[in-house]
Amino acid sequence: MSESLLNIQNLTKGFPIRGGILGREVARVQAVRGVDISIDRGEVLGLVGESGCGKSTLGMLILRLIDPDAGKIIFDGQDITTMPQSKLRPIRKSMQVVFQDPYASLNPRMSVGDIIGEPLLVHKVTSSKERRDRVMDLLKLVGLNEKAYGRYPHEFSGGQRQRVGIARAIILTPKLVIADEPVSALDVSIRGEILNLLEDLKDRFSLTYLFISHDLKVVEHISDRIAVMYLGQIMEMFPASELCEARHPYTQALVSAIPVPDPDAKRERIVLKGDVPSPIDPPSGCSFHPRCPYAKDVCKSQEPQLDKYGDGFFAACHFIDEMKAHSVGSELASK
């Protein structure tokens, strides 16, 4: 059995913008552009980037909720890129999703017991008695009272609803869970509880996560490795425990925005100029060049490839060696 559970190669997806009386395609939003990533079994890969950078689209592509324009998706040793939906059905049991908005993702007319047990029903996994027993077990595991079984989503807080969403995602004991901003809509006070729950369940059921978030601190907490996405491309990948050693200028800007708990510790905030460019017409060369404080002429014309620059470190930057001097790690070392 291969170590890698998910391997995606050169994955690309654009969405047409149509105009005119005939509804012809007049432009294309380039949401995901040539993404290569792999996730090992039992690993948590954090995917971080600003809103609209293509993170959620990448998640939907992996789940085959939308079809890619190009590239490959290898899941659990099988190429599922163009697999027909009828053949995908049994594989879908092994890939589940936790959504950002726990209320919108739960059917308000269904009881919690029915919501959590629905995947078992859809995939005809158990009898109704077994289904009820498994839902009851899971309710306890995710920290909900058994009485929740017959109640409805509106009777619960945001954190409790997200526990229901998580229970629904893991009831089929999937191999891969795509958690798409699972704590962003929750109060800060309960984010930690949900993250701890996700970690506990991962250990208990040997799950693998693609954890998508715009919050680098949250991603650092839960991930083994982090991939940083910008305008539909992966800019850098590195071990989460070595966040301070990440060198790409965009990653450095994200790191500099993380609040430092020690009031005496001063870290210079890197404020990026301008807005994120439009994904309809991404900049030439390095797509980060209009906002990069270190951009040179070559950055405007030549696109950097995602190359290895250290053990477990990959970045798309022409000047990654020079960037070492600007990383938070070297900033701390010089103090």
Instruction: Summarize as ranges the residues that interact with ligand SF4 (CB under 6 A).
Output: 249, 286, 288-289, 292, 294-295, 299, 304, 317-319
Closest separation in Å from C-beta 39 to ligand SF4: 25
Nearer to ligand SF4, 103 or 294 (CB): 294
What is the rounded CA–CA span in Å between residue 316 and residue 104?
37
Residue type, 334: S
Assigned token pair, 194 = 């949900």
Closest separation in Å from C-beta 277 to ligand SF4: 12
Nearer to ligand SF4, 161 or 318 (CB): 318
Helix and strand totals (H; E) in the chain: 10, 12
> Rounded to 5 degrees, what angle do the CA atoms 191, 141, 177 make?
65
Closest separation in Å from C-beta 308 to ligand SF4: 16
| DSSP 8-state secondary structure symbol assigned to residue 65 | S
Closest listed residue to residue 1, CA positions, set 36, 38, 40, 45: 40
Closest separation in Å from C-beta 299 to ligand SF4: 3
Nearer to ligand SF4, 140 or 308 (CB): 308
Closest separation in Å from C-beta 285 to ligand SF4: 7
Nearer to ligand SF4, 120 or 299 (CB): 299
Closest separation in Å from C-beta 61 to ligand SF4: 25
Nearer to ligand SF4, 161 or 289 (CB): 289
Structural contact between residues 213 and 244, judged by C-beta atoms closer than 8 angstroms: no
Give me the phi and psi of 175, to 5 degrees please. -85, -40
Nearer to ligand SF4, 98 or 286 (CB): 286
Residue type, 67: D
Closest separation in Å from C-beta 232 to ligand SF4: 15
Closest listed residue to residue 100, CA positions, set 157, 162, 49: 162
Nearer to ligand SF4, 171 or 255 (CB): 255
Task: Give the full edge-to-edge strand order of the sheet including 70-75.
Answer: 24-40, 4-19, 70-75, 78-79
Closest listed residue to residue 82, CA positions, set 92, 68, 96: 68
